[in-house]
Every structure is written in structure tokens, then in C-alpha cells.
Amino acid sequence: MRDDTGGGMAGLDAALWRSVAVYRALALVYAAVVIGKNSGGYAHPLGGWAVLGVLTVWTGVATLAYRDPSRRGWPLLSADLAVAFGCILATAWVETPHHIATGRPTLPVSWVAASVLAWAVAGGRRRGVIAALVLGVANLLVHAAAGTAGGMGNTTLNGIVLLFLAGLVVGQVVRLAREAEARLARAVELEAATRERERLARRIHDSVLQVLAMVQRRGGEAGGEAAELGRLAGEQEAALRALIGAGPGTGP
């Protein structure tokens, strides 16, 4: 039954990580559209395309790396968060201070939420919130570097809040899903164990009944004290049959 339990949890984790990979790929497409649309107004247009290249490469690397459960540890999670952090900070160099002040999104836009989701899937809501806090600091640093920290608009604040909500909600849902999966696995294991005990009990009952019937028959044939023993065996056989027929799961 341990294999079944492990297989169920592995299946849940695989589905969660596939969801993160799908989100990362779709967010990459959106980031490419935004960079392509805004590149003409960048202070350093080539820098924007360079960031898109980094996003593309890391999307492929992260998607492949997270498929392997043995790699879903701190090194990969930290690298994932560092790439998102760096791409956000690159906005301060690529964009103009005016555009940053007027609320243009950072270069990776919603792509950075993939690292928050990865942390939430790996460690629940606490890690998700930590990752969101780190990326929130990166957004604040972009405005500080551009000299627009005092004029940070609603777009940036909304983005930071959404990162926190994503880390908190997804982390909580993942925790609840894993707990439900574990409870289901325990219930399946308990049901299988109960069925096995019932099967063994039936076999024991059948063997005992056969022995008691044989003792009763042989005792009756032998007569004397053996006949008394046979009579007692017959009584026990009748009592045991009544006990077995009283209901399922009744032990001897």
C-alpha cells in the first residue's frame, strides 16, 4: 500500500508542477507581446529583448528541471526567484523614468508570478508569501532606482498585492490538496487491510469448522469419552456458525 500512497502523492505533485509550467509558458507569451509593443519607447530597446531572451531560456530550463522531483529543492527555487528578481530590476535600466512613473509594467510583467507559484507548490503558503515579498521588494527597488519611489502608482501596488495573494492562496490550496490526498490514501489502505483481515478470518473460520465437524463425527463413531468430546465439538461448531452468520466483520 505504500507504493499506492506514494503514487497518489506523486501524481498530485506532477499535476501541480505541470500547472506551474503551463502558466510560465503562457506568461512568457504575454511578456513577449508587452515587450514587443513597448520596445520603441525603451531607453535601451536591446535590453528589453535581452530580458525576453533570459525569460525564454529560463522558462525552458525551469520547466525541465521541475519535472524531476529530486531537483525541486532550494538551489532550483532560489535560482528561479533570482531570475525573476533580476528581470524585474532590469526594468529600471531598460525603461525610462517617465514610463516607470506613469505605471508601465515591469519587463517580465506577470511571468514573475511563476516563481511565486513554484515556491507555494514546494512549501505551502509560507514560502509563497516569502517569494512574493522578495519580488515586491524588487518592484520597489525599480521605482527607487528611477527616482519615482514617491510616485509609485496603483499598477505597481496592485501587482505586488496580486503576488502576495497568489503565494498565499495557492500555497493554502496546495496544502489542503496534499492533506486530502494523504487522507484518501490512508482510507484506501485501511479498507484494503480490512478486506484482507476479513478474508483471512473466513479462511480460519472454514478451517476451524471443518476440524470441529470432523471431531464431532469421529467422536460419535468412537463412543465413550470421545463421544462426549464430539458432542462438545458439535456445540462449538454450531455456536461458531451462528457467530459468523451474525454479520460481516464479526470475529471469532
As a whole number of angstroms, the distance between CA 55 and CA 65 comes to: 15
Dihedral in degrees, nearest 10, Cα atoms 58, 47, 146, 83:
10
Residue 167, C-alpha cell as written in the block? 503565494
- Domain borders along the chain are 2-184
Q: Tell me if 95 sits within 8 A of 108, measured CB to CB.
A: no
Q: Tell me if 111 sits within 8 A of 24, measured CB to CB.
A: yes
Among 236, 185, 181, 231, smallest CA distance to 208 is for 236
The residues, ordered by sequence, that sit 6+ positions from 119 with a Cβ below 8 Å of its Cβ are 77, 80, 81, 127, 128, 130, 131, 167, 171
* Residue owning grid cell 461448531: 237
As a whole number of angstroms, the distance between CA 176 and CA 173 comes to: 5
pLDDT tens digit sequence for 103-160: 888 999 999 999 999 999 999 999 999 999 999 999 999 988 877 655 566 777 888 9
Rounded to two decimals, the pTM is 0.72
pLDDT for residue 79 is more than 90: yes
